[in-house]
Amino acid sequence: MGVVKMIFDEKLIYEIETLVGAFEIVRDHRANNDRTGVIEIDAEGKRMFVKIHNRLSRWNPEAYAYKNWTKILSPYTPTLLHTFKNDFYGIITSPLEGRTVNEYQINDLEKLKKIYYSAGEQLKKLHESFKGTYFGIPSFDGSPFEKKVFTDPIDYISSSIESILKLGVDKFIFDEGDKNLIEWCLKKCDVFKNCTPVPTNWDFSQNNWMVDRNGVFTGLIDFENMLWGIDVDSFGVIIERYTYDKPCLREAFYQGYGLENNSEKQLQIFIISVKMAIADICHGILNNNERFFMCGRSLLNNLKQCKA
């Protein structure tokens, strides 16, 4: 179900009109995406964004996040205006000024450091504001979406790593060096024993951070990959895809976040980074996604060198 099909589907148009009235489509933001559609609309002079999901596993956490978590970050997040879950799974939000860092293609390190610092500040505020009772994806009503529910942080992290390891071994993806590092991480998972569930975003990165024309941070978007998780799990994409060769940006983010620089936190970040790397290696190979594979393989190789 691609977004173009969804935009011109009469049922979808009727669904949106019942919530906002007559509207015009201003822009299709994800014309080639077959998983989610984002259209910008004008409803009687009011600009809004409509996001359509074809998976409840993505609609539930995003709708829940907007309803319960992200409003604490106002005005740095859009406001949730409507949700719907009939023939389509959708949300309607207010606009947020600017475009993403990636859309503006910002390469100025001084500007980027300020953006990363601001993003770190917002993530810390989110983590300090909410504590959960389980690890995993929430349904819109707050109950666990997944059948298997974790309440112990060690079980939660180790189970995730073990499932990726099994997949990689079954598909002959990992070499002995990979497996040795993964198994070492599994033995160290007790470092997470004191972690409590906080709002975590597996896609927290500059691809979803908004800035104005001058490169000044204006906020955050895209919460479909949120869940109750481990705090440092929100760092994974930043480490792997955006700051691997720009440690100054990672440092600026950590400073904005107020990260405790101790051995326990560093070990947690190391293990989370390994988990991120092996997940992307498997995803890349199994889905023929070279970018994911190369990012994951490069990070894992670097982590093996750090461990050596």
Q: List the 209-211 sheet strands across, edge first.
A: 99-100, 209-211, 217-220
pTM (predicted TM-score)? 0.94
- Count other C-beta atoms under 10 Å from residue 64's C-beta: 25
Q: What percent of the chain is modeled with pLDDT above 70?
A: 97
Q: Answer yes or no: are the C-beta atoms of 281 and 303 closer than 8 Å.
A: no
**Which class for 29: exposed (0-12), middle (13-18), buried (19 or more C-beta within 10 A)?**
middle
The tens digit of pLDDT for each residue in 19-78 reads 999 999 999 887 777 778 899 999 999 999 999 998 999 999 999 999 999 999 999 999
Q: Which of 123, 144, 121 is nearest to 132 (CA)?
A: 144
What distance in Å separates the CA atoms of residue 46 and residue 26, rounded to the nearest whole number?
A: 11
In this structure, whether the domain defined by 3-93 belongs to CATH 3.30.200.20 is answered with yes
What distance in Å separates the CA atoms of residue 101 and residue 210, rounded to the nearest whole number?
A: 6
How far CA 83 is from CA of 62, 86, 195, 199, in Å, comes to 10, 10, 32, 20
Q: Which fold has domain 99-307?
A: Aminoglycoside 3'-phosphotransferase; Chain: A, domain 2 (3.90.1200)
Q: Answer yes or no: are the C-beta atoms of 286 and 171 closer than 8 Å.
A: yes
The tens digit of pLDDT for each residue in 73-112 reads 999 999 999 999 988 899 999 999 999 999 999 999 999 9
DSSP single-letter state for residue 81: E
* Alpha helix segments (H runs only) across 69-152: 101-104, 109-129
What distance in Å separates the CA atoms of residue 265 and residue 115, rounded to the nearest whole number?
A: 23
What distance in Å separates the CA atoms of residue 5 and residue 9, rounded to the nearest whole number?
A: 6
DSSP single-letter state for residue 55: -
Same fold, 3-93 and 99-307: no
Domain layout of the chain by residue ranges: 3-93, 99-307
Would you state the pLDDT for residue 25?
92
